[in-house]
A and B are shown apart, each in its own frame.
Chain A
């Protein structure tokens, strides 16, 4: 009996610290690697200063992000809309972005913007219902995008192809709009405001 007890190694309780260390390191690795391998960046075709443009227009966001005659939302304005102000042959500014923009303008070529807030293809979202009927502010979902003076890099999910803004930039994707625009966020807002939450409301 005594021999047996002598043979058993006395283990330190500090051993368990290694479990905690492993837990912390593993978790840190997971938090670091998830966005690193999942998201890739795409450059925007040219820079755009929302802040500067907001100072020039009278009707805020809706000056350019209009509703069409049929009530549908135009999203990012086309080059025709830009021509309402940038009508001449001369650039209105002297930034490199403006020079780049003039190339698109002269060629009457659409600017292939990457859309931060583009929802999945199976989602039907009506801006008219939210911004017009419910009176939500644009900032509720889009944050302070309209006050930015430059465009941040567009990040997309390599697996899904969707913008990172949908899942959110937070490490565990739990924040609500404007950081995140997932189905849970839509459902929560609908629930809080007593709006129908049936599948077909968004998934036609």
Chain B
């Protein structure tokens, strides 16, 4: 046997066959197939004991159950957020923001783990220690106070009724600064309308028990109060073979609520309040109203001033209103008569589609309509919530000597973050030296994000207390990490529109990321660092102790924390108590008149005073529920169209950012080509502007602009453009950032007449085609 080419080939063939007869090839193929299943980005929780813990999402008001796994090595980890079936409002339901909350909790890319100091020149962030961070902020504030410039420090927070919000107010007041503002909410507008007309600041709608609901331009199903509670009420309205309730939606767009309603009345933007008043007049003329309302203060003329009935008869003509609002008069009359006839009918006002706090006079008009229906204090009507039994965090503090940046010319204190920013930027009456952003991501959420961006850019020292490296944190000089709501203590109070008072408490369920602290604890540490009046104003070891003191009247704190909520047992049915000067329902608000007269110095011309507050109707209308033309109508020919947001529970809720999951479930009619914002326009309007579906357009207002892809939608009112809300982040990782554009960067905020609240429901815009 010779070793030659042929023998070598035989050996080689034998070897190859031999290798194939071994497990090498099949085993590698098998394991390669298994390897393809092991995507390293799919989080696989460690095995361990599973437990559920009750909590409340403070951003949505949802009663939630966090599913926790007690890993042998990693410890507790939240693996899911479900609904808490025991919670009286959400009853086991969740919205996308709740269900995907863990995507914000466990996102190393965007969570702030340690205090960071930013170099403004280079933008580079460096990690510093907590004592160093507190020395920086404390030192800055102490220096301002020492120089008598404490008023040049301002703080912005999310919820003034939360314990952290209360702490922020006390800290700034003790420091001597009157400049604290919060995210504006419809709760404040409702509180004003309620106080002025009923003397009750906490009014809600008993939606679950109503059988005829008229919603005035408020997105009941896309974002209203505690969103799950409204969805649950809606589920109760539907039935087979017959619906249990009749829902009427009055708004300019065939929104989700409008398309789910039994009747959609497409009105012109901003005319909803006028429609409510027209319904009042129709009810009076047809004699189908509750006669008890005739005993209300201001039903007839008072003190030589016009009463509500006179105002309606003089200024609200049903045909003119129908024409102004662009609705069919016979349909309006028919619907009004059905409303009046229904045994449990309610008219609902609330936040606008753009998420603003709503217009005071529209809220008052809707309350007046409810009064005419006679549903105040009745099942399925408007009910007064029991005030939450919360204690104060301490005694009254001395008022700061300097006037606040905004609102000092108002007869009552107003939370207007927009006016504060505008005044600070103009330096009138003074500028800001320090700005503390305590959550809320104001640079993204605005209102009028451009303005908040400028405020953060131009203020010499900006501190952001936030769980995320969001748009606000990116502009801050100092970023202080705070806990996510599943990691730390915190509370939330009754959601807008709820018929019962409900307090939510959340506690640490999982270990906080690195050095993150509860925002409240950071404020307490800051107060300690400042010492003196600040430390005396907040004498608590930690936020948990403050929460325990504040919620003392709700029973054992430990038990309350485990239950996670306290709720009023049932709505307060029965005769509504009117805490007004007249002791009656006030259709002409004496409270408001007294406040304005006092603010105007008493002797001044009342008419001049109310006009200075933005009330075009003058003194004759200022204290009555009445309708005023929205400011966006007067934007002029340069901005001929009106922009409004198209909200969705899939794009946003509260001040938290959209999550990767929510981005994933957006249709092409909201976000096209994975990253292009889509705006809606009526085909006729597009035709007039020579625009076609798929065109890239520039939507420009006097305050800012955005570019988007155009889609044509017959359900959009002519002359308008509708923009999805909550998109266009520049932060929060690759799954969320650079998806669409931010609606808040194009809105123009104005002040609501009389209330002085910032409103941005409608913005005058121009739309033109751009390349792209």
* Chain A 103-158 interface residues, beta-carbon cutoff 8 Å to B: 110, 112-113, 120-122, 157
Residue on B nearest A24 in the bound complex, by CB: B18
- Once A68-B49, A72-B50, A157-B31 are accepted as A-B contacts, the answer to whether A30 and B23 lie under 8 Å apart by CB is yes
Residue on B nearest A162 in the bound complex, by CB: B34
Chain A CB within 8 A of B575 CB: no
A-contact 0/1 string along B1-17, CB 8 Å cutoff: 10000110011111111
- Residues of the A chain whose Cβ atoms lie less than 8 Å from the Cβ of B32: 159
Chain A CB within 8 A of B314 CB: no
Chain B CB within 8 A of A20 CB: yes
Choose among A20, A23, A160 the residue that contacts B34 (Cβ–Cβ < 8 A): A160
**CA A29 – CA B15 in complex, angstroms?**
9
- Residues of the A chain whose Cβ atoms lie less than 8 Å from the Cβ of B12: 22
A-contact 0/1 string along B166-184, CB 8 Å cutoff: 0000000000000000000
Residue on A nearest B12 in the bound complex, by CB: A22
Could you tell me the distance in whole angstroms from the C-beta of B211 to the nearest C-beta in chain A?
42
Choose among B23, B25, B31, B50 the residue that contacts A31 (Cβ–Cβ < 8 A): B23
- Once A22-B13, A161-B38 are accepted as A-B contacts, the answer to whether A27 and B1 lie under 8 Å apart by CB is no
Residue on B nearest A121 in the bound complex, by CB: B44
Chain A CB within 8 A of B73 CB: yes
Residue on B nearest A79 in the bound complex, by CB: B72
* Chain A 3-26 interface residues, beta-carbon cutoff 8 Å to B: 11-12, 14-26
* Chain B 115-144 interface residues, beta-carbon cutoff 8 Å to A: none
Most buried by A among B7, B18, B32, B50: B18
**CA A24 – CA B16 in complex, angstroms?**
10
Let me know if A12 and B49 touch, CB within 8 A: no
- Residues of the B chain whose Cβ atoms lie less than 8 Å from the Cβ of A11: 6
Residue on B nearest A167 in the bound complex, by CB: B27
**CA A171 – CA B21 in complex, angstroms?**
12
- Residues of the B chain whose Cβ atoms lie less than 8 Å from the Cβ of A24: 14, 18
Let me know if A112 and B73 touch, CB within 8 A: yes
**CA A93 – CA B531 in complex, angstroms?**
54
- Once A21-B14, A110-B72, A121-B44 are accepted as A-B contacts, the answer to whether A15 and B19 lie under 8 Å apart by CB is no
- Once A12-B1, A15-B1, A19-B13 are accepted as A-B contacts, the answer to whether A120 and B37 lie under 8 Å apart by CB is yes
- Once A18-B10, A171-B23 are accepted as A-B contacts, the answer to whether A26 and B37 lie under 8 Å apart by CB is no
Chain A CB within 8 A of B47 CB: yes
- Residues of the A chain whose Cβ atoms lie less than 8 Å from the Cβ of B11: 18-19, 21-22
**CA A14 – CA B2 in complex, angstroms?**
10
B-contact 0/1 string along A14-56, CB 8 Å cutoff: 1111111111111111110110001000000000000000000
Let me know if A122 and B73 touch, CB within 8 A: no
Let me know if A19 and B10 touch, CB within 8 A: yes
Could you tell me the distance in whole angstroms from the C-beta of A185 to the nearest C-beta in chain B?
15
For B, the interface residue count at a CB cutoff of 8 angstroms equals 34
Let me know if A26 and B44 touch, CB within 8 A: no
Let me know if A120 and B10 touch, CB within 8 A: no
Let me know if A23 and B18 touch, CB within 8 A: yes
Residue on A nearest B47 in the bound complex, by CB: A75
Could you tell me the distance in whole angstroms from the C-beta of A12 to the nearest C-beta in chain B?
5
Could you tell me the distance in whole angstroms from the C-beta of A161 to the nearest C-beta in chain B?
6
Could you tell me the distance in whole angstroms from the C-beta of A128 to the nearest C-beta in chain B?
13
Chain B CB within 8 A of A91 CB: no
Chain A CB within 8 A of B146 CB: no
- Once A34-B24, A159-B31, A160-B35 are accepted as A-B contacts, the answer to whether A25 and B10 lie under 8 Å apart by CB is no
Residue on B nearest A118 in the bound complex, by CB: B47
Let me know if B19 and A29 touch, CB within 8 A: yes
Chain B CB within 8 A of A192 CB: no
Choose among B6, B24, B49 the residue that contacts A30 (Cβ–Cβ < 8 A): B24
- Residues of the B chain whose Cβ atoms lie less than 8 Å from the Cβ of A110: 72-73, 75
Residue on B nearest A11 in the bound complex, by CB: B6
**CA A197 – CA B10 in complex, angstroms?**
46
A-contact 0/1 string along B91-110, CB 8 Å cutoff: 00000000000000000000
**CA A16 – CA B6 in complex, angstroms?**
10
Choose among A14, A22, A34, A122 the residue that contacts B23 (Cβ–Cβ < 8 A): A34
**CA A74 – CA B47 in complex, angstroms?**
8
Let me know if B31 and A23 touch, CB within 8 A: no
B-contact 0/1 string along A70-94, CB 8 Å cutoff: 1010111010000000000000000
Chain B CB within 8 A of A173 CB: yes
* Chain B 34-91 interface residues, beta-carbon cutoff 8 Å to A: 34-35, 37-38, 44, 47, 49-50, 72-73, 75
Let me know if B49 and A26 touch, CB within 8 A: no
Let me know if B38 and A38 touch, CB within 8 A: no
Let me know if B27 and A34 touch, CB within 8 A: yes
Choose among B7, B21, B28 the residue that contacts A15 (Cβ–Cβ < 8 A): B7
- Residues of the B chain whose Cβ atoms lie less than 8 Å from the Cβ of A14: 1
A-contact 0/1 string along B467-506, CB 8 Å cutoff: 0000000000000000000000000000000000000000
Let me know if B34 and A159 touch, CB within 8 A: yes
- Residues of the A chain whose Cβ atoms lie less than 8 Å from the Cβ of B34: 120, 159-160, 162
- Residues of the B chain whose Cβ atoms lie less than 8 Å from the Cβ of A30: 18-25
Let me know if A15 and B18 touch, CB within 8 A: no
Could you tell me the distance in whole angstroms from the C-beta of B36 to the nearest C-beta in chain A?
10
Choose among B14, B35, B38 the residue that contacts A26 (Cβ–Cβ < 8 A): B14
Chain B CB within 8 A of A1 CB: no
**CA A25 – CA B22 in complex, angstroms?**
10
**CA A131 – CA B731 in complex, angstroms?**
50
Choose among B19, B20, B24, B27 the residue that contacts A173 (Cβ–Cβ < 8 A): B27
**CA A122 – CA B44 in complex, angstroms?**
10
A residues touching B (Cβ–Cβ < 8 Å)?
11-12, 14-31, 33-34, 38, 68, 70, 72, 74-76, 78, 110, 112-113, 120-122, 157, 159-162, 167, 171-173
B residues touching A (Cβ–Cβ < 8 Å)?
1, 6-7, 10-25, 27-28, 31-32, 34-35, 37-38, 44, 47, 49-50, 72-73, 75
Given known contacts A23-B18, A34-B24, A38-B28, what 4 new A-B pairs fall within 8 Å (CB)? A26-B14, A33-B24, A72-B49, A74-B49
A-B contact pairs, 10 of them (CB 8 A): A18-B11, A20-B14, A22-B10, A23-B21, A26-B17, A26-B19, A26-B22, A28-B22, A31-B23, A34-B22
